[in-house]
Amino acid sequence: MTEPLHEIRAARTALTWLIEPGNEAIWRLVQRHGPVAALAGLMDGTLADGALRAAARTRLADADPRQVAALALERAERLGARVLIPEDGEEWPAQVADLTRMARAGATATDRDAFPPLCLWVRGGWPVAEALERSVAVVGSRAATPYGAHIASDLAYGLADRGWTVVSGGAFGVDAAAHRGALAAGGRTVAILACGIDRSYPVGNAALLDRIAETGLVISEWPPGAAPHRHRFLIRNRVIAAATAGTVVVEASERSGALHTLRRAARIGRPAMLVPGPVTSAMSVGCHEFLRDEPAARLVTGVAHVLEEVGRIGADLAPPVRGPERPEDRLDPVLNRILDGVPTRTPAGAEEIAARAGVDLRSAMRALPALVLQGFVRQEPGGLFTLAPRRKRG
């Protein structure tokens, strides 16, 4: 490709406006001919096949895509936003190319329409590839319970605190709690939207999205002004899944869109994690069902588990969870049994203790001095034994 970068940028912007992102045919056209030639060929009908031409026809009749792109780029500039394209080199998050593999193997049309984005609209100054290099998606139900909001915020805080970028969808509920948790840790967070980066959707999150853009990023495939159509959430989800090292669903009802993102993550080969919750909560039903049905799903209960999945071995491995150890836990089973046979009050001899414990006399006689030495048992006059005070119950 010898075209100047601004022409390529305009072409990719125009193509994304003409055909909804994720489309397989347009992605192949761009791969084969480059964005500028692909746009020209789609517009004059020389390159595109029937289906693709038909898909573009309504919009082509509406306006000149090059003009639309130019206006959108102007508008973005006024908003302090920019359009990032693969040709920009190292700022492009190369990992989204993993979508190709998944989309190629897709069994259904929906799966196949999950090809990588042609461009990304970006609000915020942080280089995108750098922001997403060590990132985890934390997503979930819009109708989060206080439990879900607490967990999402806590998890995001912990991830941000350890230098991970928290990515979410900028929605109410779990998404908002995750963004807020990351910000509370002084971390940076990325919202990937299903509408134009200037739409502030949902309106109630406008201030939050502004705050995210101050230190982090607000990203979208759609040009400024684009509406949050319902199907766009499904298209958007693949970018959240592919841009991050793994996805965590905190709360999800049975048909939650968050599970769609998680399924995408699993199919790309990224860790698909879920936080369990009370089985009495409708907002955890989706998490539990996914954990039951998908062998690749991982149950996580906190930041340590998440880092174990996405982190590098040695750097971010979770410490094993253990209960407070009681001293007698370290005793072998036979010593433990003999200890059980030692009376609390009335001192007993080795023989009686052996009988109570159900072991032979020799084992008891060998074990008792060891138990005395270790402070579990007290030796009384006359070769008798009782439990040492701290072992006494009641």
Verify binding: residue 345, a second copy, rule CB under 8 A.
no
Verify binding: residue 20, a second copy, rule CB under 8 A.
yes
The size of the interface with a second copy (CB under 8 A), counted in residues, is 75
Distance of CA 102 to the CA centre of its chain: 18
Verify binding: residue 64, a second copy, rule CB under 8 A.
no
3-state secondary structure of 152: helix
Q: Which amino acid is at 271?
A: P
Q: Using an 8 Å Cβ cutoff, are 290 and 297 in contact?
A: yes
Ramachandran angles phi, psi of 288, nearest 5°: -65, -40
Verify binding: residue 356, a second copy, rule CB under 8 A.
yes
Per CB under 8 A, the segment of 72-80, 186-194, 206-214, 225-233 that binds a second copy is 225-233
Tokens of 177: 């709690």
Verify binding: residue 101, a second copy, rule CB under 8 A.
yes
Verify binding: residue 126, a second copy, rule CB under 8 A.
no
Verify binding: residue 238, a second copy, rule CB under 8 A.
no
Verify binding: residue 229, a second copy, rule CB under 8 A.
yes
Q: Using an 8 Å Cβ cutoff, are 225 and 196 in contact?
A: yes
Tell the smallest beta-carbon distance from residue 100 to a second copy (Å).
9
Binding mask 166-205 for a second copy (x = CB under 8 A): ----------------------------------------
Instruction: Compare residues 102 and 131 and give the one whose CB is closer to a second copy.
Output: 102
Distance of CA 300 to the CA centre of its chain: 11
Verify binding: residue 298, a second copy, rule CB under 8 A.
yes
Q: Choose which of 38, 357, 377, 387 interacts with a second copy (CB under 8 A).
A: 357
Verify binding: residue 150, a second copy, rule CB under 8 A.
yes
Q: Choose which of 340, 344, 375, 392 interacts with a second copy (CB under 8 A).
A: 340
Instruction: Could you list the beta-strand ranges (E) of the chain.
Output: 81-84, 120-123, 135-139, 165-168, 189-193, 217-220, 247-249, 272-274, 297-299, 377-380, 384-387
In 3D space, the residue among 359, 372, 362 whose CA is nearest the CA of residue 333 turns out to be 359
In the 3-class helix/strand/coil scheme, how is 154-199 assigned residue by residue?
Answer: HHHHHHHHCCCEEEECCCCCHHHHHHHHHHHCCCCEEEEECCCCCC
The enclosing H or E element of 2 equals none
Instruction: Compare residues 82 and 264 and give the one whose CB is closer to a second copy.
Output: 264
Per CB under 8 A, the segment of 1-9, 169-177, 202-210, 300-308 that binds a second copy is 300-308
Verify binding: residue 336, a second copy, rule CB under 8 A.
yes
Q: Choose which of 203, 332, 345, 382 interacts with a second copy (CB under 8 A).
A: 332
Tell the smallest beta-carbon distance from residue 255 to a second copy (Å).
4
